[in-house]
Amino acid sequence: MSRQSGEIILDLKNVSLSFGGVKALTDISFDVREHEIRAIIGPNGAGKSSMLNVINGVYRPQKGEIILRGQHFSRMNPYKAARAGISRTFQNIALFKGMNVIDNLMTGRNLKIRSNLIQQAFWWGAARREELLHRAKVEEVIDFLEIQHIRKTPVGRLPYGLQKRVDLGRALAMEPSILLLDEPMAGMNVEEKQDMCRFILDVNDQFGTTIVLIEHDMAVVMDISDRVVVLDYGRKIGDGDPDAVRANPEVISAYLGASH
């Protein structure tokens, strides 16, 4: 796989995070280049999800800093992250179950909507024009993810694999420059996984989106990512391209098991 990775777009320096006495992340540093697919792997409880939560500002690390496009953030928060073009999906899908797919995707456009509540309530003038514009963007996402047939289905009624796809759709509706995916393929069957891989690669290829992903399925990770960070007990034990990581003895003993 030869993708053109660009400059370092996101740089994490010596990040440490603890919850009371529990150390979730200890002195972790890694970077993400523009347009690459960067995987974070590690056993359960290694701190992968915490890492993502640090990046988009849900958790505030006690130490360390985040440098996003040359800008230093010692205190990121989700709003700033979203404004800076970072969007994400969740390990346990966090959609509005009672709303249909279109409305869920429209929430992804929320940040870009300028008209105020009153204008929107009357759906008049600028508000109307604006909504049509956003709806067209949402339709592009629907087309891209091939979910036309469930456009108007309440999300709660969809099978798990499709909900995952809608979750991705909402993140894409933001037109992010960096996309954080938290176990996008967990709980899927082989076919759904293949579809999801295809979509992730397509997003990366067509929109040039930088992707940071957590995944358990080794075959998937080794197949689609450009570089891999390995965490174990909150520490970084490996970093590099898939082949290098595969060959790293510490990684093998910690995660990949004796079969390699």
Partner 1 sequence: MPDMASSQALDTFPRLLIQHAQVRASKPAMREKDLGIWQCWTWGDVAEEVRALACGLAEMGFQRGENLAIVGENRPRMYMMMTAAQCLGGVPVPLYQDAVASEMLFALLDAEIRFVFVENQEQVDKLLEIQDQLPQLEHVLYDDPRGMRHYTQPFIHDIRELMAMGRIHNRNHPDLLSTEVAAGRSDDVSVMLYTSGTTGKPKGVCLTHHAFISAAQGGADFDRLTADEDILSYLPMAWVGDHLFSFAQAMVTGFTINCPESAETVMTDLREIGPSYYFAPPRVFENLLTQVMIRMEDASVIKQKMFQYFMAVARRSGAQILDGQPVSFADRLLYALGKVCVFGPLRNVLGMSRIRVAYTAGAAIGPDLFRFYRSIGINLKQLYGQTETCAYVCLQPDGQIKFDSVGKPAPGVEVKIADNGEILVKGPMLLKEYYKRPDATAEAINADGYFMTGDAGIFDDDGHLKIIDRAKDVGKLANGAMYAPNYIENKLKFFPYIKEAVVFGDRREMVCAFINIDIGAVGNWAERRGLAYSGYTDLAAKPEVYGLIQECIEQVNGELVGEGTLADSQIHRFLILHKELDPDDDELTRTRKVRRNFVAEKYSVLIDALYNGRERQFIETAVKFEDGRQGRVAADLVISDPKTFAVAGRIS
Interface residues toward partner 1, by CB under 8 A: 135-136, 139-140, 142-143, 146, 148-149, 151-152, 202, 205-206
CB of 143 to partner 1, least distance (A): 6
In terms of CB distance, is 140 or 250 closer to partner 1? 140
Single-letter amino acid code for the residue at 89: T
**CB distance 64 to 14 below 8 Å:** yes
Q: Report the sign of the C-alpha dihedral through residues 30, 60, 221, 202, in that order.
A: negative
In terms of CB distance, is 29 or 148 closer to partner 1? 148
In terms of CB distance, is 129 or 151 closer to partner 1? 151
The Cα-based distances of 119 to 24, 102, 212 in angstroms read: 45, 20, 37
CB of 1 to partner 1, least distance (A): 12
CB of 146 to partner 1, least distance (A): 7
In terms of CB distance, is 112 or 151 closer to partner 1? 151
Compute the distance between CA of residue 163 and CA of residue 101 in angstroms, rounded to an integer: 9
CB of 39 to partner 1, least distance (A): 23
Which one, of 227, 181, 234, 208, lies nearest residue 55 by Cα?
181
In terms of CB distance, is 15 or 168 closer to partner 1? 168
Compute the distance between CA of residue 260 and CA of residue 256 in angstroms, rounded to an integer: 7
CB of 102 to partner 1, least distance (A): 8
Tokens of 85: 């073009």
CB of 107 to partner 1, least distance (A): 18
Compute the distance between CA of residue 79 and CA of residue 58 in angstroms, rounded to an integer: 9
Count CB neighbours of 224 within 10 A. Answer: 20
In terms of CB distance, is 23 or 135 closer to partner 1? 135
Beta-bridge partners for 16: 63
Q: Is 2 helix (H, G, I), strand (E, B) or coil?
A: coil
DSSP letters, 176-242, are -SEEEEESTTTT--HHHHHHHHHHHHHHHHHH--EEEEE-S-HHHHHHH-SEEEEEETTEEEEEE-H
In terms of CB distance, is 60 or 149 closer to partner 1? 149
CB of 64 to partner 1, least distance (A): 39
